[in-house]
Amino acid sequence: MLTATAANCFEEALEALLDMFDEPQIPVEVLRSAASNSTIKMLDIIFREDPDMEIPQDILQSVAKNRNHGARMMEYLLKRKPELDVTWDSLLCAAANTTSEQAVGVTKLLFAHDPTLDIKESVLRTAARYGNKDMLRCLLDHQPALQISQELVGFAARNWIPGQGECAVDLLLERNPNAVVDMDLVIAAAARVNKPEFELLWNNLFYYYPDILEFLLGKDLEIIPSEECFQNPLGGESLAAKQILDLLLRRSKDFVPSEATYSAAIEGNSETSVYFLGKFKTLAPTEQTWKNAACLDDENSRGGCTVLRILWGRGLRPANLAALVESAARKGNVASVEFLLQQNAIQGMKERWLPIAQLMQATAERPTKIVRDLLDKGIDPNTKSDVEGRTPLLTAALLGREEVVVILLETKAVDFETKEFVFGRTPLMCAAEQGHTEVVRLLLEKGADKCVTDAQGKTAFTLANESSLNNDVAELLQ
């Protein structure tokens, strides 16, 4: 019995196998495998043994996808079976799914076989998906009246292939120079997400596909950027973020950022944000925006202190400096606290809030001597940050800072059952979820309640079990 494996052998091997039988029955699997992987000679051998063998639709599709011999094999089959009952759209789509040379060859054969072929957008989409510019040109030349929809341009961008996708998009725009392109659709397409997911796409786009967006923004299209277009790149750390923002600004010379966009620039904490702030020097931040700027992570080279200096340098001042110092201190941003105190030495502020900022920062960064010295000076170990509601112990437990946890637990005043604001989790829960075995052990020895639940009704054991970071933690909590 012959199998599809035979078709993958050399032609001589298949011919030898067929000669072993008086009237061999060639299964369709042999033809299918030959259509996908072989040459005309293989087909010739098969049809010599069975001239009346039927050619199903899927066989023709396999031929159309044959990356090396598809065009010549299609020509062979069309000559042998001129009255084929097939769905032409599927063949064109199959052809578009292969290399440029083979795709064009197969397509021209199909057009010659049936000059009345009507090209549907599904075929154009397939060619656009693989960035097959020659195939697209062949299709558009055959049917010049085809309408290039905005969705098709977006589809080509969404299925961008480096070195090829640009060509496909360029050709489509060339054939429809009056296209009005919806910016949200183009950007969403370029980032390979659906339009409703617009806010989720930017990180992926900047790090992996910045060339797509730069190319599209550089075209002479009628593009009206939305407010979100300006907000999202402000947090981008890639080299392309600034260039993309600059292209957006060039397209919207009269653009005046809303408070939300201005806040996004300050909170973005990036080179792009600083560039944006330099473009709009007259806007004043709200008190919440001031607070967000002061709470930016100091570990970043463009941290909150840098943004505060920019705002201060423009003559802008917060309405409540004391509240700003407190927020920065609770966050552990020592540089921001020191900068703000230098601007206005409010009596008692330095003595109260600078040590707290130092404690919060030291808790995260592990300098145990600083933690111990600050606690010895009477700094409250239960101070919470404004937004997350984290105490030094919560931070240390979350980050697995065992030495810091030991020091904090030695302080009788420490509250080891305190809950943070976001999920209502205790230090034990935070450590359990992150798989910090020794921290969990320390808290349990201190008497931490392992049965207490968070805002979602989960215990420390549940969180440890769900995270699967460390099975030993789950065993400790059973």
CATH code, domain with 413: 1.25.40.20
In a domain, 90, yes or no: no
- Specify the pLDDT at position 231: 72
Tens of pLDDT, residue by residue, the chain (478 residues): 344 444 444 455 555 555 554 555 556 566 666 666 666 666 666 666 667 767 766 777 776 666 666 667 777 777 776 666 656 666 666 665 555 666 777 777 778 777 877 787 777 777 776 666 777 788 888 888 777 776 677 667 666 555 554 556 667 777 766 655 555 555 544 444 444 343 444 444 444 555 555 665 665 555 556 677 777 677 655 556 677 777 777 777 778 887 778 777 776 656 777 778 777 777 777 888 888 788 876 544 445 577 788 888 878 888 888 888 998 888 888 888 988 888 876 777 888 888 988 898 888 887 788 899 999 989 999 999 887 899 999 999 999 999 999 999 999 899 999 999 999 999 999 999 999 999 999 999 999 999 999 999 999 999 998 887 777 898 899 8
Place of tokens 């080299």: 239
DSSP, collapsed to helix, strand or coil, labels residue 283 as coil
- Specify the pLDDT at position 301: 42
In a domain, 405, yes or no: yes
Burial status of residue 315 (CB atoms within 10 A of its CB: 0-12, 13-18, 19 or more):
exposed
Amino acid (1-letter code) at residue 211:
D
Phi, psi of 11 (to 5 degrees): -55, -35
Count of domains for the chain: 1
In a domain, 144, yes or no: no
Give the number of other CB atoms < 10 A from CB of residue 255. 17
In a domain, 419, yes or no: yes
Phi, psi of 124 (to 5 degrees): -60, -40
Range of the domain at 448: 366-478
Q: Which tokens hold the place of 467?
A: 């995270």
Place of tokens 């010549």: 72
Q: How far apart are CA 40 and CA 221, in angstroms?
A: 47
Phi, psi of 346 (to 5 degrees): -75, 130
In a domain, 389, yes or no: yes
Task: Please list, residue by residue across 444-459, b when 16 or more beta carbons sit within 10 angstroms of its beta carbon and e when fewer do.
Answer: beeebebeeebeeebb
In a domain, 258, yes or no: no
Give kind and range of the element (H or E) at residue 30. helix 28-37
Q: How far apart are CA 458 and CA 466, in angstroms?
A: 10
* Closest by Cα among 467, 465, 468, 455 to 426: 455
In a domain, 19, yes or no: no
- Specify the pLDDT at position 194: 43
- Specify the pLDDT at position 34: 65
DSSP-assigned beta bridge partners for residue 137: none
77: left (phi over 0), alpha (psi -120 to 50) or beta: alpha
In a domain, 181, yes or no: no
Residue 296 CA to its chain's centroid (Å): 23
Q: How far apart are CA 259 and CA 333, in angstroms?
A: 24
